[in-house]
A and B are shown apart, each in its own frame.
Chain A
């Protein structure tokens, strides 16, 4: 599969306070993210996961190493707009990324910036709003919408650029369970139906269950990288990094230590129940 984003020995440091040492947030990250994949990046606060996300569309530039977006070097200033058009970003606070006070105007913001002709903007706005299931709100004022709806507007605003990849930087952190569900099902659908690469930065483990790949960041480095099953079954390793395994895995882990013959990699509730039933029946 072609590569969407590639980083090689990527390093990044935030400028230091007076007299202090610069703080390294990324210390050598090598990643290849495949086109069309759904990748979840986990890690505790300060692990470097948000910094990493911001290097993917040249909001932050590498202090060492490189980031390539579809082969384009993010350090090349002439490619800036092309890179940002390919990789859209959705941020944590829904209020602070909505530009206009009418939904359609907000979704139109990016295509307007790109100089898309008016008739085509209209089409893109309508299609984007339909893709996130918010078309009925086309002329609403965004500040009256719920958190989940605002984030879907923000996603629509990104889709209207027709990007190949969407990065969600803790975009579900401020939402209630319903809003979170709305956003998750929207991005899963976009990934499935439009083949858009999704990179979801989060610290909610359960959002990673259906991902193709889970990357765990710790101390500015990639600490774990694999399928959800491969990552979540390493219960002790996760705990050491301030993360918790899903309750399903936690339970199976304990039952194994109690001498029950269950597999560890039954992540979902149904899989877990099946595994336990089989083990108990086998006794």
Chain B
């Protein structure tokens, strides 16, 4: 697989030369592959937010590089806006950045900044609205009349409308209720599947990460602690827990079963997988 983003020895230090100097990101190196669904997990203060703002050039590395399709994004600082169009970033609580009179106009902000006009502009607005489940008749409404969950969808559509090659989502479901969370994640999964866009999901919720991503990057105090498939990462559940991170509830049940002497893979992370494990165990047991 081709890497679309390469992060090389990235370091970001705040307050250089002051008594408050501190590195939020320190010597991080990893690749993000074309078309993958990557999850990033870590505590508040682990460097997640600082890291993702480097991927679209909102922050400039203190040292190290970010390569997009093999090219350093800061090679031509004047063209940094193009990087922001190619790497879309949806911030936490994005509904607080809505400002236009209508939903349609708000979604149009990004694409217009890109220079899109006419039918092309109209197409990408309507398509991205549809992707996040905004109905056509809602497009002419004021975004401030919508419910909290709908506002968030509009904000998401505003970034999708730029048709980025990489989509970064910072805690997209924070504050939503379970149904809202699941609906939004389903939209994002569909988008990923249909467009083959690379998606990076930043989340506090191990359960949410486990159920959606192909690969997980675990951050801890400005460094990459682990990286691998969910099964690989949850196989090291003990390490995660000592690092103060959550483990999906299902994994904890599997670990507890294993500790009770059942022959079970403790790295399962979906209810489905654990059910299958247990059924297989029963069959095996019955055959004996």
Contact = CB atoms under 8 A, between A and B. Distances in A.
B257 A44 contact: no
Contacts of B279: 258
B115 interface: no
A181 B160 CA distance: 34
B260 A44 contact: no
Contacts of A179: 44
A172 to B, nearest CB: 10
B176 interface: yes
Interface in A121-155: 146-147
B275 interface: yes
A280 interface: yes
B177 A242 contact: yes
A260 B179 CA distance: 29
Interface residues of B, number: 38
Contact of B256 (A147, A176, A269, A280): A269
B77 interface: no
B118 interface: no
A100 B135 CA distance: 43
Interface of B: 43-45, 147-149, 174-180, 204-205, 207, 244, 246, 248-250, 252-253, 256-257, 259-262, 271, 274-275, 278-279, 281-282, 285-286
Interface of A: 44-46, 92, 146-147, 173-174, 176-179, 203, 205-206, 242-244, 246-248, 250-251, 254-255, 258, 260, 269-270, 272-274, 276-277, 280, 283
17 contacts: A44-B177, A44-B178, A44-B179, A44-B180, A174-B175, A178-B44, A203-B178, A247-B248, A247-B250, A251-B250, A251-B253, A255-B278, A274-B260, A276-B278, A277-B261, A280-B278, A280-B285
Given A269-B249, A280-B282, 19 more contacts: A45-B148, A45-B177, A46-B147, A146-B45, A176-B43, A176-B204, A177-B205, A203-B177, A205-B178, A206-B249, A251-B253, A254-B275, A255-B275, A255-B278, A258-B279, A273-B253, A273-B257, A277-B262, A283-B282
